[in-house]
Amino acid sequence: MIRLTDVAKEYPRSGVALAQVSFEVKKGEFVYLTGPSGSGKTTILKLLYMDDKPSQGEVWINGVSSKTASGREISRLRRRIGIVFQDFRLLEDRTAEANIRFVLEVTGAPKATIRSKVARVLTQVGLASKATSFPRELSGGEQQRVAIARALINDPFVLIADEPTGNLDERATRGVFQLLRDINASGTAVIMATHDLDLVRRSNYRTIELNHGRVVFDSSESPASARPFDEPFEVRDTPSDSTERF
């Protein structure tokens, strides 16, 4: 379903962000991407939703290749991918419901289905009663749930989450994480970048660890005990791979 083959990514200013990255993600799998800041997690996620192209190698996702994908193909692919960010990226001037509806509107969904779909995902994330609230009226955890609902509205085959619990307190983190597990249990693959080693340790999902833009550990290829997770990540001072411009 998702395959990265010898992927490298170089940025003109910050240099090498990824080198020789290869892995596969199967349908319905839950994968953690871990590693220190600047290790290449966000870059991999951006390559997955084709916000960027690899400098070398190839990314295959749901039959679309990074080498040949046209703009229209990328748009169509993104309608089948759910994306969640640490900073939620909700539109402040719209209610929770309108933020979710927006996705269906921009993809040209028929009006009749929009209302029922929005109600369904809001219930799924436990926010049916907050449909008319604006983001500023919601807690961080609730805002992230709205963002997850927005990501789920098109029934994605994969949910890509970039540090989704990074801005949340422990209680909200647990809630959001449980929600991601439920989503995964219903058949959607989840690829989640996180620093939160406690979270990683507490669950038995596959873990891919990155350092200096390389895969240094993949639990699917090694015994579960090979990476003890109690060593802190090495933090390096090189520029961050995060080239977000939002």
Partner 1 sequence: MRSAREALMASRRAPLLSALGVVTIAFSLFAFGLFGLVAINIRKALDQVEERVEVRAFVSDSTDIESVAAAMKDIGDFPEVARVDYVSQEKALERARKEMGEFADVFEAGVLPASIEVHLRPGMRSPAIVKSVADRMKTYQFIDDVRYGEEWVDKLYRMRTIATVAGIALGVAFAAVAVIIIGATIRMTVLARAKEISIMRLVGATDMFIRLPFLIDGLVKGVLGGLLALVFVWVANRVVNEYFIETIFFDRQMIFFGVVGGAMMGVLGSLVSVGRHLRRI
Distances (CA, A) of 178 to 27, 35, 91, 126, 175: 20, 22, 25, 12, 5
Quote the least distance from Cβ 23 to partner 1, whole Å. Answer: 23
- Residues binding partner 1 (CB under 8 A): 49, 51, 71-72, 75-80, 83, 89, 91, 93, 102-103, 105-108, 150, 154, 245-246
Distances (CA, A) of 115 to 102, 121, 142: 11, 10, 20
In the complex with partner 1, the residue whose CB is nearer, 5 or 62, is: 62
In the complex with partner 1, the residue whose CB is nearer, 87 or 218, is: 87
**Which residue carries 């390389």 as its tokens?**
214
In the complex with partner 1, the residue whose CB is nearer, 63 or 108, is: 108
In the complex with partner 1, the residue whose CB is nearer, 79 or 195, is: 79
Quote the least distance from Cβ 103 to partner 1, whole Å. Answer: 4
Q: Residues 6 or more apart from 232 whose CB is under 8 A from it? A: none
Quote the least distance from Cβ 64 to partner 1, whole Å. Answer: 12
Quote the CA–CA distance of 180 and 170 in Å, as a whole number.
Answer: 15
